[in-house]
Amino acid sequence: MRRSFLAALVLAAGVLAAPSTQAFKGEVTIALADEVPTMDPHIITSAIGVMVWRYPFDTLTSADTATGKVGPWLAERWEQISPTAIKFWLRKGVKFFDGTPVTSEAVKYSIGRIMDPANKSRSAPAFKAFDRVEILDDHTFIWHNKVPDNGTLNRMTVRPAIMSPKTKGWDKARFAREPAGSGPYILQSWTKGQRMVLEANPGWWANDRFPHRPKTVVLRRIQEASTRVKALAVGEVDLITQIHPQFMDEIKDNPNVEMKSVPSVRIMYLGFHTRHGGPFTDLNVRLAVNHAIDTASIIRTLLRGQAVPIGQMIHQWNYSGYNPDKSWYGYDPAKAKEYMRKSAYPDGFKATLLSPVGRFPADKQTCEAMTGMLKEIKIDAVCKPMTFALFTREYRAYAQGTKKDPAMYYMGFGNSSGDPGLAMISTSACGGGWSSHCFKDLDDAMYKALGTPGSEAQQAGWERVTDMIKAKATHKIMFQVNDVVAFQKKRIEFRPRYDEIVYAWEIVMK
**Residue range 228-250, pLDDT digits in tens:** 999 999 999 999 998 999 999 99
> Is 22 in contact with 213 (CB distance < 8 Å)?
no
Q: Which residues pair with 432 in a beta bridge?
A: none
Local confidence pLDDT in tens for the 510 residues of the chain: 444 444 444 444 444 444 344 578 999 999 998 899 999 999 998 889 999 999 999 999 999 988 889 999 999 999 999 999 999 999 999 999 999 999 999 999 999 999 999 999 989 988 989 999 999 999 999 999 999 999 999 999 999 999 999 999 999 999 999 999 999 999 999 999 999 999 999 999 999 999 999 999 999 999 888 999 999 999 999 999 989 999 999 999 999 999 999 999 999 999 999 999 999 999 999 999 999 999 999 999 999 999 999 999 999 999 999 999 999 999 999 999 999 999 999 999 999 999 999 889 999 999 999 999 999 999 999 999 999 989 999 999 999 999 999 999 999 998 888 899 989 999 999 988 899 999 999 999 999 998 898 889 999 999 999 999 999 999 999 999 999 999 999 999 999 999 999 999 999 999
- pLDDT given at position 231: 98
- pLDDT given at position 15: 40
DSSP state of 62: E
Counting Cα atoms < 13 Å in the Cβ hemisphere of 465 gives 32
Whole-number Å distance between alpha carbons of 219 and 225? 15
Coil/strand/helix, residue 372: helix
Q: What share of the chain is helix, strand, coil (3-state, %, to 5)?
A: 35, 25, 40
- pLDDT given at position 8: 46
Q: What phi and psi, each to the nearest 5 degrees, are found at residue 236?
A: -75, -30
Spatial neighbors of 166 by CB under 8 A, at least 6 apart, are 96, 98, 100, 180
> Is 198 in contact with 186 (CB distance < 8 Å)?
yes
- Long-range pairs for 213-216: beta carbons < 8 A, 24 or more residues apart: 213/24, 213/184, 213/504, 213/505, 213/506, 213/507, 213/508, 213/509, 214/24, 214/25, 214/26, 214/27, 214/28, 214/492, 214/504, 214/507, 214/509, 215/24, 215/25, 215/26, 215/27, 216/26, 216/27, 216/28
- Dihedral sign from CA coordinates of 245, 246, 252, 256: negative
Strand ranges (DSSP E) for 96-254?
A: 130-137, 140-145, 185-191, 195-200, 214-221, 239-240
C-alpha triplet 454, 460, 466: angle, nearest 5°? 135
Question: How far apart, in Å, are the Cα atoms of 238 and each of 90, 214, 218, 259?
Answer: 35, 12, 10, 12
Peptide bond into 333 cis (omega under 30): no
Q: Which residues pair with 141 in a beta bridge?
A: 88, 135
Instruction: Please check whether the domain covering 2-224+491-509 is classified as CATH 3.40.190.10.
Output: yes
CA-wise closest residue to 261 among 276, 278, 244, 273 = 244
CA-wise closest residue to 152 among 76, 59, 51 = 59
Whole-number Å distance between alpha carbons of 228 and 241? 9
Domain residue limits, the chain: 2-224+491-509, 266-481
Question: How far apart, in Å, are the Cα atoms of 331 and each of 207, 292, 298, 309?
Answer: 51, 6, 11, 12
Whole-number Å distance between alpha carbons of 365 and 357? 9
> What radius of gyration do the chain's Cα atoms show?
23
> Is 237 in contact with 217 (CB distance < 8 Å)?
no
DSSP state of 261: E
- pLDDT given at position 17: 43
Whole-number Å distance between alpha carbons of 316 and 325? 12
Whole-number Å distance between alpha carbons of 259 and 88? 40
Spatial neighbors of 105 by CB under 8 A, at least 6 apart, are 135, 138, 165
- pLDDT given at position 22: 57
Kindly report the CATH class assigned to 266-481: alpha beta
